[in-house]
Chain A
Amino acid sequence: SQTIHQWPATLVQPVGSPLSLECTVEGTSNPNLYWYRQAAGRGLQLLFYSVGIGQISSEVPQNLSASRPQDRQFILSSKKLLLSDSGFYLCACKGQGSSYEQYFGPGTRLTVT
């Protein structure tokens, strides 16, 4: 079964600083990868997803970006953080095909001050 690693677990960053969150997956190949965010008091929002290396689809326009440099590596970045970027960021992985479950990583709690 797959294992999803995310780091760091928690992060406090000042407004205007850059961001890089990394997600790596073990135990599967050619997965679909996803970045989600839960802002305070809100539901789970899909930010980006990727069906292969270098293929990124953005769901919400914002100052974040994502990259997939390797099959099992997914990176979420920002050049300048905003206060509204605070939240709980989750990376998820899913096998190809409709019947596969989506598994989530442990998450990163980001606080922008």
Chain B
Amino acid sequence: ILNVEQSPQSLHVQEGDSTNFTCSFPSSNFYALHWYRWETAKSPEALFVMTLNGDEKKKGRISATLNTKEGYSYLYIKGSQPEDSATYLCALHNYGQNFVFGPGTRLSVLP
């Protein structure tokens, strides 16, 4: 069973700080890696889908990279804003079409 880990579990930063967190996995044998932004009582919002080693994706102040050889993906947020506060989920999409989610990183951006 593929195990997806995320670190840190939670993170507090000041408004304007840049931050990053990690998704790690033991195997490169998966279809794609997904990042989501999840606010309490709402549905997860898709951020990025990455499939290839070395992939880099960017959306506004948020970007992500994928290293399948060493088994990790980084999510970066530049100039954090209070509205960035949420839980960020990483998920692996397996060849069997199921998804395995990590436990998430809870980000709080303090004004």
Query: Which residues of A are at the interface with B, using a C-beta cutoff of 8 A?
Result: 32, 34, 43-46, 49, 51, 57, 59, 88, 90, 94, 98-107, 109
Of residues 36 through 65 on chain B, the ones whose CB sits less than 8 Å from some CB of chain A are 38, 41-46, 49, 51
Question: Inter-chain contact count A-B, CB under 8 Å?
Answer: 56
Q: Which secondary structure dominates where chain A touches chain B? A: strand
Q: How many residues of chain B have a CB within 8 Å of chain A?
A: 24
Which one, B43, B51, B99, B100, contacts A98 given CB within 8 A? Answer: B51
Which one, A46, A51, A105, contacts B99 given CB within 8 A? Answer: A46
| Complex Cα–Cα for A57 and B90 (A) | 22
Extra 14 A-B pairs, beta carbons < 8 Å, given A57-B98, A98-B31: A43-B89, A43-B102, A43-B104, A44-B44, A44-B89, A45-B101, A46-B101, A49-B98, A51-B97, A57-B96, A99-B32, A102-B91, A104-B44, A104-B45
Which one, B32, B46, B98, contacts A103 given CB within 8 A? Answer: B46
A46→B43 contact, CB < 8 A: no
**In the complex with contacts A98-B32, A99-B32, A99-B49, A44-B43 CB distance below 8 A:** no
Closest residue of B by beta carbon distance from A107? B43
Q: Chain B residues near A103 (CB, 8 Å)?
A: 46
Q: Chain B residues near A109 (CB, 8 Å)?
A: 41
Q: Chain B residues near A107 (CB, 8 Å)?
A: 42-43
| Complex Cα–Cα for A32 and B45 (A) | 17
> 15 interchain pairs (CB within 8 A)?
A43-B103, A43-B104, A44-B89, A44-B101, A49-B97, A49-B98, A90-B44, A98-B32, A102-B91, A102-B93, A102-B99, A103-B46, A104-B44, A106-B42, A106-B43
**In the complex with contacts A90-B43, A104-B44, A99-B51 CB distance below 8 A:** yes
Interchain nearest-CB distance for A54 vs B (Å):
15
Closest residue of B by beta carbon distance from A90? B43
A101→B102 contact, CB < 8 A: no
